Amino acid sequence: MSQFAVEALFVGCKEGLVLALCLALITAYLRGRGRDPLVRTVYAAVIAVLLASLAVIMVPVSVEARAIAVKMAGTLFGLVYLTALAALYHTAEPKDSGPVAEALHRPAVLGPVLFLATIAYFIPDMAASTLYVSDLQEMAGGGVLVHITAAAGFFFALAAAYAVARTFPLDILRIAAFPQLLLFLALIKLLTGGVRGFAEISLIPSVQSGLMKLVHDAVHQLLVMLQVPDHPILTVSAWNFIAVLFGTTAGLILSLLVFLLPLAFFLRKHFGSPIAVPVGLASGAARRAYLRGVRDDRMLKSLPVILFMIVITLTWFSQRGEGAAQRYAPTPVRLVAESGSISIPIQSPGSSLLDGRIHKYVVQEKGVDIRVLIVKKPDGTLVAALDACDICPPDGYAQTTEHVVCLYCNTPIPVGTVGMPGGCNPIPVTALISGKDVRITMKEIAGKWMAMMIGEGKKGVRR
Amino acid sequence: MSFIFLQGVSKDYGTAQALRGVDCSIGRGEWVSIMGPSGSGKSTLLNIIGGLDRPSAGTITVDGADINAMKGEELARFRRNSVGFIFQQSHLIPYLTAAENVMLAQYFHSLPDRAEAVEALAKVGLGHRLDHRPSQLSGGEQQRVCIARAMINNPGILLADEPTGNLDRANTRTVLDLIRDIHRQDGYTIIVVTHDPEVSRWADRSLFMEDGRIVTDEPICR
């Protein structure tokens, strides 16, 4: 058996185990709640997912569609997590059901919702794995062996897990109400992607970057609101201090808090809320037994939450330092202007402007080094900008997965917004982009660089 | 219908037969004494009714539940929730105070509650001895702590094995008064194993055992 077939076998086994584990949890929960008819709905959705995954083999799938499938995994994790949080808070302090909850109690609504939710939960991973197996098959030189071994692994794992579940029936209701079930499902998504897989879906880096930008903008907006020009009065030392707030470390810590705090608040409420003892309990022993029962139930129902917090924290630790390590900051390539402009070939030996990475160039004008960056945006177009913004000293930018990051103040800028003017964005420059090269006039970049250097924002900064 | 029902209950220890096909029925709220010579099977029978021991053969049902069919945790729950025990030796924890000994029973049942333990000890006349250790209590006081400990979880059944065996007349009287109060006020089903005919007379009914069998079963006339 080729190495590709062996790998396909493992991929199939993994997907089979994941499916079996999730089905065991979901069906045990539904049966425990006396909602047996809904088990059939879940099975129907799983069959739909399997058929859709098979269809992926038959039809050509674009690179963009693959990227969407990977992104969906992260988005769905977030959705499951947020739904679990909402449900946790509802159970911690039950209120009158709103129209949504009431609608969900109707079988005519709940059935289709469960059907669609099951499909949404399983399909990104299943489709991505199927695509991966197809890639393996291509690498193996065609044939059906790779697909057959993947299918064999899948059904073997499914059957083995089913046998285990039959032998050791799961009493999930002891430890899980609906929100805990969702947390388990989120955990499975997290763990079966592997902790590295979690990094790939960019959940923590995305949250981290978003928070960093939020804090950065809040600082700027506060100073704007106070009508204080920030950079002239704040020295680089002050900025270094402020930058701690939206630096990588703060972003990482904040991203961890975003995940942990809601759960911690839930646990506080869960354990801290007083227990209402029913009036009918006559003896002290009955009262104590009731209190003990409620406390035990609270303890057991908190275990999935605590487990989730532990795994998130471990994942977070595995992410630490990756932000800095993953930054890509190439040394600018020195160019010489010809006929009043610079020309950068789109394809050159060992380099392509279309590779998705930032490309930096430096050119001299009247003894001043002017840096330019070029990057391919997610929409596939190339964009050119100065390697500097209007606000910070021109330290330039590095690149992470989805952002360019200011090397001075650590502000992340989504790659998609490079080319837009203002704020912390790289100062856009007009470029003539043909199929062969990117051409920028010296007048354009020198003018903007000089304007940037004498800008209001640079006056008070000691460099 | 019988509250406690035994049918053909036997217990063998190797070749020795402690119980030989005991049949017996005890109603809810009844006070039964079991008398007989040493080795007649009284304590064995009491232990089997309380789920401390298992019979070699036969059936025991308590309030309709077959306790012989109960597995470990279920049997422990039965003992914890449904049965209070008093023994000739107090079996109090020597390094815990009277209140803490009672609270220990609460802990194994559900949750410790000192206020409730204090109330139970006050009920048996030990409100002033709460923080005394067993070694600082008289035999009668220790036995009263045992009664409070046995009753604290409101079990409904009280099984007492020679509860007054180590006590003088005055303390015997005090302990029996307490047991009578429990019987009358709370409607407990009480089974007392004793050698003492005086103690036996406090019951509604007396069983006499010999060689692992019940040989007489008579109501007590007062």
Residue A408 sits in a domain whose CATH number is 2.102.10.10
- The CA distance from B112 to the nearest CA of chain A, in Å, is 8
Do A316 and A178 reside in the same domain of the chain?
Answer: no
Nearest CA in chain A to B155: A285
CB contacts of A283 in chain B (<8 Å) are 154
pLDDT tens digits, one per residue of A11-46: 888 888 888 889 888 888 888 888 888 899 999 999
Are the C-beta atoms of A149 and A46 separated by less than 8 Å? no
Cβ distance B109 to A283 less than 8 Å, yes or no, reads: no
Q: Which among B81, B111, B152 is the nearest to A291, CB-wise?
A: B111
Q: Which pair of structure tokens corresponds to residue A402?
A: 């989805």
- Does residue A75 register a pLDDT over 80? no
- With a CB cutoff of 8 Å and minimum separation 6, the contacts of A107 are A37
Query: Do residue A285 and residue B111 have CB atoms under 8 angstroms apart?
Result: no
**Range of the structural domain that residue A253 is part of:** 204-325
Which of B110, B158, B188 should we substitute to test contact with A (largest number of A Cβ atoms within 10 Å)? B110
Is B110 in contact with A283 (Cβ distance < 8 A)?
A: no
> Is A199 contained in some domain?
no
Two tokens at A444? 């354009």
Same domain? A230 vs A159: no
* Residue A106 touches chain B, beta carbons under 8 Å: no
Largest CA distance in chain B: 50
Structure tokens at A72: 């969906």
Nearest residue of B to residue A282 by CA position?
Answer: B154
Q: Does residue A414 surpass a pLDDT of 90?
A: no
Question: How far apart are alpha carbons A53 and A47 in whole angstroms?
Answer: 10
Distance CA A25, CA A71 (A): 25
A292 touches B at CB < 8 Å:
yes
- The verdict on A174 and A258 lying in the same domain is no
Put simply, the answer to whether B109 touches A284 (Cβ < 8 Å) is no
Contact B106 A289 (CB under 8 A): no
Res. A238 pLDDT band, cuts 50 70 90: low
pLDDT attached to residue A377: 81
Q: A129, A161, A193 — which closes off a domain?
A: A193
Q: Which residues of chain B make contact with A289, given a CB cutoff of 8 A?
A: 81, 109-110
Q: Nearest C-alpha of chain A: how many angstroms from B116? A: 7
A378 shares its domain with A238: no
For an interface test with A, give the residue of B81, B111, B151 to mutate (most A CBs within 10 A): B111
More confident residue, A352 or A233: A352
Chain A residue at shortest CA distance from B111: A288
Among the ranges given (A65-79, A131-145, A148-162, B137-151), the one the predictor scored with the smallest mean pLDDT: A65-79
Most confident of A245-254, A302-311, A328-337, B16-25: B16-25
Is the pLDDT assigned to residue A201 strictly greater than 90?
no
Taking chain B (222 residues) in consecutive chunks of 10 residues, what is each chunk's mean pLDDT?
Answer: 89 91 93 93 93 93 91 90 89 94 94 94 91 93 92 92 86 90 90 91 93 90 71
Pairwise CB contact (< 8 Å): B109 & A285: yes
- Asked whether B62 and B50 are in contact (CB, 8 A), the reply is no
Residue A19 lies in a domain: yes
pLDDT of residue A434: 80
Query: Would you call A286 and B154 a contact, using CB atoms and an 8 Å cutoff?
Result: yes
Kindly determine whether residue A288 and residue B113, on different chains, have CB atoms separated by under 8 Å: yes
Residues A212 and A305 in one domain: yes
User: Which residues of chain B have a Cβ shorter than 8 Å from any chain A Cβ?
Assistant: 81, 106, 109-111, 113, 116, 119, 152-155
**What is the per-residue burial (b if ≥16 Cβ within 10 Å, else e) of B144-160?**
bbbbbbbbbbbbbbbbb
Q: Does A288 touch chain B (CB under 8 A)?
A: yes
Do A432 and A299 share a structural domain?
A: no
Chain B residues in contact with A291 by the CB 8 A cut-off are 110-111
Give the lowest-confidence range in A270-279, A363-372, B181-190. Answer: A270-279
Q: Which of A285, A291, A295 sits opposite B153 (nearest CB)?
A: A285
On whether residue A198 sits in a domain, the answer given is no
Query: Do A392 and A424 form a contact (C-beta atoms < 8 A)?
Result: yes
Q: In this complex, do A285 and B110 lie within 8 Å of one another by their Cβ atoms?
A: yes
Distance (Å, whole) CA A25 – CA A222: 48
Helices (H), ranges, A201-247: 203-225, 230-233, 236-246
Tokens of A308: 């989730």
Q: How far apart are CA B203 and CA B189, in angstroms?
A: 11
Which is more confidently placed, A70 or A394?
A394
pLDDT at A157 over 80: yes
Q: Which residues of A are less than 8 Å from B151 in CB distance?
A: none
In a shared domain, residues A339 and A427: yes
Based on the fold, state whether residues A265 and A183 are members of the same structural domain: no
pLDDT attached to residue A314? 79
CB atoms near residue A356 (< 10 Å) = 14
**How do A382-386 and A368-376 pair as beta strands?**
antiparallel
Give pLDDT, residue A372: 93
CB contact under 8 A, A288 and B116: yes
pLDDT on residue A200: 40
- Same domain assignment for residues A342 and A375: yes
Query: Rounded mean pLDDT of A123-142?
Result: 79
Q: By the CB < 8 Å criterion, does A291 face chain B?
A: yes
| Helical (H) or strand (E) element with B21 | strand B16-26
Q: Binning pLDDT at 50, 70 and 90, where does residue A91 land?
A: confident
Q: Do A292 and B110 touch (CB under 8 A)?
A: yes
Between these two residues, A405 and A194, which has the higher pLDDT value?
A405
Is B113 in Cβ contact with A286 (below 8 Å)? no
Closest approach of chain A CAs to the CA of B175, in angstroms? 23
Min Cα distance B195 → chain A (Å) is 33
CB-neighbour burial class of residue A322 (10 A; exposed 0-12, middle 13-18, buried 19+): middle
- Checking if the pLDDT of A209 tops 90, the result is no
DSSP state of A375: E
| Residues of A with Cβ-Cβ distance to B81 under 8 angstroms | 285, 289
DSSP 8-state class, residue A328: B
How many domains does chain A fold into?
3
Q: Provide the pLDDT for residue B75.
A: 92
Q: Name chain A contacts of B113, Cβ cutoff 8 Å.
A: 284, 288
> Given pLDDT bands bounded at 50, 70 and 90, which one contains residue A457?
very low
Contact criterion met (CB below 8 Å) for A298 and A271: yes
Distance from A289 to chain B by nearest Cα, in Å?
A: 5
> Does A57 share its domain with A166?
yes
Question: What is the mean predicted confidence (pLDDT) over A448-458?
Answer: 73
* Cα dihedral sign, A319-A320-A323-A325: negative
Q: Both A187 and A282 in a single domain?
A: no
pLDDT bucket at A92, cuts 50 / 70 / 90: low
Integer angstrom CA distances of residue B198 from A40, A83, B37, B206, B207: 70, 70, 15, 12, 14
Q: What angle do CA A276, A279, A284 make, to 5 degrees?
A: 85
Cβ B96 vs Cβ B46: under 8 Å: no
Please give the CATH superfamily to which domain B4-219 belongs. P-loop containing nucleotide triphosphate hydrolases (3.40.50.300)
Interchain proximity A285–B154, CB inside 8 Å: yes
Is the CB of A174 inside 8 Å of chain B's CB atoms? no
Q: How confident is the model at residue A350 (pLDDT cuts 50, 70, 90)?
A: confident
Would residue B27 be called left, alpha or beta, if left means φ above 0 and alpha means ψ between -120 and 50 degrees? beta
Same domain, A34 and A171: yes
CB contact under 8 A, B110 and A289: yes
- Token pair for residue B103? 């609270």
ipTM of the prediction: 0.83
